[in-house]
Structures are given as structure tokens and as C-alpha cells.
Structure 1
Amino acid sequence: MTEANEFRPAARIGIGGPVGSGKTALVERLLAVFATRGRSVSVITNDLVTTEDAERVRRSGLIDPARVLAVEAGGCPHTVIREDPSLNLAAADRLEREHPGTEVVLLESGGDNLASTFSRDLVDYWMFVIDVAGGDDIPRKRGPGVVRADLLVVNKVDLAPHVGADLPRMLREAAEVRDGRPVLCTDLRAGVGVEAVVDLLDREVLFA
């Protein structure tokens, strides 16, 4: 931890996206890279009525299990990250209180559609994860998650030739609808592209 960060509140970073796009895989990959960079990280996962994602992260061996909390939305996943984020705000406050010196809190949304967005009262920065296997027309649908996120992560790029996706066109159209906001490619199963995501977070959030 740097001296400059010692007295700063933790950066709260949201991770949203459809079911199966790779949100939890991104959390796990980020934890591994943050560990190599000496970052102090905690995690909040959101599910409808389970704690399955939280248990997966706790079992990963990448983080002290006490640093992982689960929020059960009990309904539409976007409700607790946008309309009424009080449960997530309380969880983030608890993690920072119980683990002084926390620099980053990762908040993973429950799987939702392309309309999912985060309240700025909850997060300082948020990412939206889509995957190539979900269709190369996703950017053209211009969902709020795709258009408004601070960072769009296009995951499973290795599958493009196997599912008939036109990856260059997908990335070109993503750039067009996002009006200059960044787009990064990942293959989270292999860990490809994660360093670039963390580099961007360092520039845009952690050292801003």
C-alpha cells in the first residue's frame, strides 16, 4: 500500500453483465493480479436468493474468505445496484470498517440484461461484461450497460471462430456506440487481457 492511499477511502468498482458473461471469472482474475501488485481488496457479490458466487470466491484461495460478503437481491438484480443500493452500501461500509486499509472493493452484480447500470452513489467506476458467444450484435442493441459503463469488457474472444462471431465488427460497433469510452478484450478462462484491465483501473481510479 502506498502512503498516498493509506488515508483514502476504498475505490468501489462495479462489475455488471448478463448471466454467464464472465463476471465472477473477472473478479477472480482481478484478485490474482491485484495480489501481485500488493493491493488490499474486498469483494461483494450479488445473487437473487443464494450466496453461490460469494462461496465460489471464498473457495478460490485468492482472498481471505472474511473479505467476501454476499448480498441477496431477492428480485431484479439491478434494484440493489441502482434504485436502492442501500444493502450494497452497507456491505461496502462494513468491509472497509472491518478491514482497515482496504484499497478496492469489487461489487459484482447479479446476472442481468443489457439494461443493467450502477448507481454513482454506490460505485466510483463500473465495468460491463459481455461475451462473444452471446452474439456479435450485442453492441448494436445499445443497451445502457453497453453504452454507459466506464469500461466495456468483451469476454470469450477465443470463441469467436467457433460461434461464427465477427469479432472485428463487434469491436468496431462497440467503439461507435460508446463514444470514445474504452473497450477491452479478454479470454478470462486463460487470463488473457486482465493485466490491461488492471492497468486501466490504476490509471482511471486507483491513481486518479
Structure 2
Amino acid sequence: MGTGKTSLISLLCRDLGTELSMAVVTNDIYTDEDARMLRAAGVLAPERIRAVETGACPHTAIRDGITANLMAVEDLQADFDPLDLVVVESGGDNLTATFSPALVDVQIFVLDVAGGGDVVRTGGPGIARADLLVVNKTDLAVHVRVDAGLMVAEGAATRGGRPVLGLSNTDPSTVAALMTWMRDQVALFRSGAMVPQDPVPMAPHHHHAGTG
């Protein structure tokens, strides 16, 4: 919790919502707070934001028992077809959070600098396997005595060179880098050239992105 996933989704909707047809699914145990926050931010039409209340660990609902999320995505697709991008937000904060490849095509994993500079070195499937690792709130690093640049570098080393982005929503250049990466993923999917990183086959669906 508090890593900035909802704020990141707000950025995506704000900057890409005018050029892509988007929708959002949020996940939590017994609340729709994240969905309400996104609706209140006004970054996307409220009816395009749906909440899944899992009643149990949200990570199970994105990885093992994905039915509730698939149904939410399918409902959005039926209501707003065609959709270019559906963002599925995982609730909670867990280094093991990974998305089923039957649910999403790409995963963005978000770390907060306030969690400590050493957290990126702990690895785990969430950090290691996500398509993009975001080291978030880099503007706060000086206040929590963390070297954000070192976190990004160590993240790249932990991930074998896979993409890592230091992000601050007050730094237009880092926000632009995130948007470029996301546009590239959508273009890759549209071209038919996207290859899932997980060996489990993907179910046919529109392009989805997950934030864990």
C-alpha cells in the first residue's frame, strides 16, 4: 500500500486517455476506495472505472483465481468496445505479486523510495518478472535518505537489464518516459509482435496492463 499505484494509473489515464480508449479495474479486499479515488480525480469517465472486491488476498485474484477480474474486464469490453487499453490495479503491497498471463499482457511493478533503498535488491518474482519496474516518488528520496539513482541501477542489475524507470509525477521527463513505454507496448500488441514473458499461454483478449 502507498507505493503510488493509483497515482500512476491517474497519470496514464490523464496523458493517454485522449488518444486511447481506456478502462480501469481496481482490486482490494472489502473496499472500492481506489476506484472512488480515480473517479474523483476526473481522469477518466467514472463508468470506465470498475472495482473488484476480492474478499481475500488481492494477489490471488490477479494470479490464481482470476475469474472476478476477467469478468470485470469482459464487462468493460462489452460496454465500451473497442478498448485500446485496460489497466488492472493490484491491491496491497507484495514483492511476490505477479499477474496471470491469461489476465494481462504486461505488468508494471511499482516500488516506493520510502520503502528503503535495499528493497530493490531483495528481488522476488514481482521485481524480477515484471515488464517494467518503476522506482516511484523519486522526488522524495532526499527526504528519506535514499539514493534513487542507485535504486534504479540496482534494479536494472537485479532484473538482468530489463527496463527500470525512476518516476516522479512532478518531473515531466520521467512521466513522458512512462507514457512512451506504454505507447510502445500498445503498438507492439497491435502489431502482433508481443511475446508473453511467462510460458503459460495467453487467452485471447484486448491489450491489458497490470500494476502491482
Shorter-chain TM-score range: 0.7 to 0.9
Match of 2:70 in 1: 89
Does residue 32 of structure 1 match 2:14?
Answer: yes
Q: Distance in 2 between matches of 1:81 and 1:181?
A: 22
Q: Deviations over 1:19-60 (max 9, x none)?
A: 100000001011011034x11100100011001111111111
Q: How does 1:113-192 map to 2 (within 5 A)?
A: 113-188=94-169
Cα deviations across residues 96-133 of structure 1 (Å, max 9, x unaligned)? Answer: 11101211001000013111110000000010000111
Residues 107-165 of structure 1, C-alpha deviations (whole Å, 9 max, x = no match): 00001311111000000001000011110001111121111100001101011111111
Tell me if the contact between 2:27 and 2:51 (Cα under 8 Å) persists in the aligned partners.
yes
Which letter maps to 2:126? G
Unpaired runs of 5+ residues, structure 1, are 1-18
- What CA deviation, in whole Å up to 9, does each residue of 1:141-191 have, x standing for no partner? 112111110000110101111111122321221011101210011113566
Q: Give 2:179's match in structure 1, choosing from 181, 198, 201.
A: 198
Contact 1:128 1:153 in 2 (8 A): yes
Unmatched runs of 5 consecutive residues or more in structure 2: 190-212
Distance 1:20 1:192 in 2: 23
Task: Tell me, yes or no, if the aligned pair for 1:152 and 1:182 is still in contact at 8 Å.
Answer: yes
Percent identical: 46
**Residues 22 and 188 in structure 1, CA contact (< 8 A), matched pair in contact too:** no
Runs of 4+ in 1 over 4 A off after TM superposition: 189-192
Q: So what's the TM-score if we normalise by structure 2?
A: 0.85
Inter-partner Cα distance in structure 2 for 1:182 and 1:31? 21
- Residue matched to 1:72: 53
Aligned length: 189
2:89 pairs with 108, 115, 129, which one? 108
Query: Partners in 1 of 2:143 and 2:17 — Cα distance?
Result: 33
* TM-score, reference length from structure 1: 0.86
1:45-101: per-residue Cα shift (whole Å, max 9, x none)? 001100111111111111111111100111111110001111001100110111012
Q: Which amino acid aligns with 1:183?
A: V
